[in-house]
Amino acid sequence: MDLTFNERELAFREELRGWLAQNPPVPEPTDGGEDAHYAWRRDWQRRLYDAGWAAPSWPAEYGGRGATLTESAIYFEEIGRARVPMAANVLGLLLGGPTLMVWGTDEQKERYLAPILSAEEIWCQGFSEPDAGSDLAALKTRAVRDPAHPGEWLVTGQKVWTSGAQYSKWCMLVARTDSDVPKHKGLTYFLMDMEQEGVQVRPLRQITGEAEFNELFIEQARIPEENVVGGVGNGWKVALTTLMNERAGLGFALQVRLRQLLDDTIASARENGLLEDPLYADALAELHIRCEAIRLLAWKGLTDVERYGQPGPEGSLVKWLWSDTNQRLTQLAADIVGPQALTAGTAWSYELLRARGNTIEGGTTEVLKNIVAERVLGLPRMKVTA
Amino acid sequence: MDFGLSEDQREIQRTARELLSDRARWERVREHAENRRSDEALWKELCALGWPGIAVAEEYGGQGLGAVAQSVLCEELGRVVAPVPFLPTVLSATLIEHAGEQQQRERWLPGLASGEMLGAVGVARDGVAELVIGGAETGAAQGGVIVLLEGDSARVLSAAEADIEPVDAIDPTRSAARVSTDPGAGEALTGDVAGAVDRALIAVASELVGVSERALEMTLEYVKERRQFGVPVGSYQAVSHRCAQMLLDTEKARSLSAFAAWTADADPLKLAEAAAMAKAAASDAGREVTAGAIQAHGGIGFTWEADVHWLYKRAQIDAAWLGGAKHHRARVAAMLSAVSAAIPT
Ligand SMILES: Cc1cc2nc3c(=O)[nH]c(=O)nc-3n(C[C@H](O)[C@H](O)[C@H](O)COP(=O)(O)OP(=O)(O)OC[C@H]3O[C@@H](n4cnc5c(N)ncnc54)[C@H](O)[C@@H]3O)c2cc1C
């Protein structure tokens, strides 16, 4: 066991920290609404890209730095600590790119990776549907080969909760290409061009008031054969690669964000004397302990990946523990910070409301518990009828 | 950055697991628990392997392998609820080594490290410590030693200097006693008592991690086999999700205990906070996980015949030992005013 960093890692951290200190993002726009906010994030990613900091974990040949797992964790810690905006193309960087690196053809990597990094082409994830959420493999969106145009697919269906679709050029789309085989086997993973007649994006307002996610109405949309990722009928496996990255990639950044919110909450408690109140002190200490446990579990998961090539049980536990802790924290903050946390438009009220999504997005907590029970603990699968 | 055990530490773990799965099978533990006797044969064997002195410095007869290695043993002994006075002896050695003076170390540590001398640690009020785990055996043994913590101070006394009244703790796998002393009896430990107690906490937390891990394993075995309504009860989410929660609690406690053990060896500035966090998390986990194990076993789990209750009882004692979760969270809260972002630099 050695929880220190080597020279190379320390140098990596120093270099990044130095760059972040010298290149602070421009202030967050105060008006212009969500579009201005998004443009601000896009601009920030562009600057990361120009300096070679958009995705250090990507191999150098695709525009990254070939950073080790530890360096990549350091990267997210520092990005989180600097309180910079979230890169605009977060789904492309964390999900799309890594999925293509595993399953994509050389031509696909050549074509798509660079514009993901530069935020020139934004990506979204078209997995969930009105009738297929946790049971993703039940999805109904259909893709059929166009008899009139060989080499092209025609897609029809509906997607929902598609974050960032309004800004996206490409959609990671999972569709059914064969209805005569068991549900997991008839799926194919496509890259769908969002800029076409057959794709309509309708914003969905969230409980925070903003419209981060959308509905997609897809009607005879066209996808060329070369945009199939990982082969026809192999969509479930490719989608799992995307989902694994979704649950793992953000771990370190989220942990740091939680740390900052907790530090702010503690500061507030100190100011109004609540840190002396044993009930508040107990609750804050428990949150601090959880926050540290998340950090340690994330590092432990990383050690497992380095040693055994795959995360241990910690992998599935981090997102669960993080989302639950963030909800507890933002709820406690409402008691500590007071009216400000319940006033619309404040940062605290945003955090309080946004936290409710944490236990739903990227796999609900119940589904994560099922995964832990079945795959980590080896418990028998629940009987399902369907 | 490497969160795993070293090759040597894994070797210690493997050896311990192998040895104990044979020597501390439930029948053996039960036999000694029911007679309220330590397993002397097992204790001799562990002493021959140098386990009680694993973290004691070599110059005092120990192996000097550090807190992480010691934690590994505590976990393994916790898993089997070994009926030996290991933990009380190790805790007293830890306190004497890290809070005592040279001459006190020389006097007590070689005996404790070899296991020839048994130790116990109690928390006293007005010179009286209730339910001192391991206490009765120090009285029975030649030259046993007791460390009494009172307020911020600590003193060490030979068992002969104390009035030791055996008491039955709910966990019958280790002896217990009520220890009373004259105010002036023994010698004060004048060093860093708080730091030494923090090191002791890590050993208790690690034992709790082992207890929790085993309770979960036994539960999984049971709920995969036991069928009701035509299916294994482990397929019900009320059961399987609680098992998942038991894993989360255990892994949380494990990562914090491992971190604390590492700070004891390598980063003493973080020791106090890390030890308090580990003991808080492990105390909660020990209670919750062993309680979950009883529940998931149904009526069987409530019987004397099933073995989960040994784990529950050990967890209850350990969770309260040297302060429970609430006490240690209060310590963490007091430190929070000084803590800034916990990101390693
Ligand atoms: C902020 C946010 C952003 C999102 N972004 C995207 C995106 O960009 N792209 C995308 O494709 N999707 C996205 N999603 C969708 C998300 O992945 C789904 O909402 C999620 O998978 C749950 O599906 P559902 O909403 O259909 O709920 P359902 O699956 O209908 O679940 C309803 C309730 O039933 C429970 N439940 C369901 N099945 C089980 C089971 N087997 N055992 C126990 N309990 C069960 C669930 O836990 C939940 O509490 C986003 C969601 C949110 C909140």
- Please state the rounded mean pLDDT for residues B60-67: 98
CATH of the domain at A297: 1.20.140.10
Task: Work out the burial of residue B45: count CB atoms within 10 Å of its CB; fewer than 13 is exposed, 13-18 middle, 19 or more buried.
Answer: middle
Q: Which of A134, A206, A246 to mutate to test the pocket of ligand 1 (most atoms within 8 A of CB)?
A: A134
pLDDT at residue A249 in the model: 58
A383 within domain boundaries: no
Are A256 and A152 found together in one domain?
A: no
Are A96 and A149 found together in one domain?
A: no
A82 within domain boundaries: yes
Q: For chain A (length 386 residues), average pLDDT per consecutive 10?
A: 94 97 95 93 97 95 92 91 92 94 97 97 98 97 97 98 97 98 96 98 95 96 98 96 74 84 95 94 98 93 82 78 97 96 94 96 94 95 69
pLDDT at B337 exceeding the cut of 90: no
Are A369 and A242 found together in one domain?
A: yes
- pLDDT tens readout for residues A114-167: 999 999 999 999 999 999 999 999 999 999 999 999 999 999 999 999 999 999
| Overall pTM surpassing 0.90 (yes/no) | yes
The sheet carrying B145-150 orders its strands as B163-167, B176-180, B128-133, B119-125, B145-150, B153-158, B187-189
Closest-CA residue of A relative to B232 is A380
Provide the domain count of chain A.
3
B149 forms bridges with which residues in the sheet? Answer: B123, B154
pLDDT at residue B342 in the model: 44
pLDDT at residue B344 in the model: 44
Are A98 and A215 found together in one domain?
A: no
Provide the residue count of chain A.
Answer: 386
Contacts of A332 in chain B (CB under 8 A): none
- To the query of whether residue A246 is one of the catalytic residues in this protein, the response is yes
Confidence of residue B9 (pLDDT cuts 50, 70, 90): very high
A1 within domain boundaries: no
* Burial call B194-230: b when 16+ CB within 10 Å, e when fewer: ebbbbbbbbbbbbbbbbbbbbbbebbbebbbeeeeee
Ligand 1 centre distance from Cα of residue A371 (Å): 14
A-B contacts at Cβ under 8 angstroms: 172
User: Which residue ranges have their beta carbon within 6 Å of ligand 1?
Assistant: A 124-128, 133-134, 161-163, 213, 357, 360-361, 363-364, 366-367, 370; B 237
For the CA of A206, the closest atom of ligand 1 is: 1
Residues 164-223 of chain A whose Cβ lies under 8 A from any Cβ of chain B: none
pLDDT at residue A247 in the model: 65
pLDDT at residue B61 in the model: 97
Please state, for a pLDDT cut of 90, what percent of chain B lies above it: 94
Is residue B332 a contact partner of residue B280, using CB atoms and an 8 Å limit?
yes
The first and second tokens of residue A359, run together, are: 């236990």
Residue ending a domain, among A233, A252, A286, is A233
- Please state the rounded mean pLDDT for residues B136-145: 87
Q: Where are the beta strands (DSSP E) in A113-186?
A: 123-126, 142-145, 152-163, 170-176
* Burial call A185-198: b when 16+ CB within 10 Å, e when fewer: ebbbbbbbbbeeeb
**What is the span of the domain harbouring residue A148?**
123-233
Q: Which domains occur in chain B, in start order?
A: 7-188 (1.10.540.10), 193-342 (1.20.140.10)
For the CA of A134, the closest atom of ligand 1 is: 29
Handedness of CA B123, B99, B75, B176 (dihedral sign): negative
pLDDT at residue A250 in the model: 65
Residue ending a domain, among A96, A118, A140, is A118
Are A287 and A365 found together in one domain?
A: yes
Residue ending a domain, among A118, A151, A169, is A118
pLDDT at B345 exceeding the cut of 70: no
pLDDT at residue B184 in the model: 85
Any chain A CB within 8 A of the CB of B3?
yes
Better pLDDT: A381 or B28: B28
Any chain B CB within 8 A of the CB of A289?
yes
The first and second tokens of residue B323, run together, are: 């302060």
- pLDDT tens readout for residues B278-299: 999 999 999 999 999 999 999 9
pLDDT at residue A256 in the model: 85
- Separation of alpha carbons B42 and B20, rounded Å: 9
Say which amino acid occupies B239. V
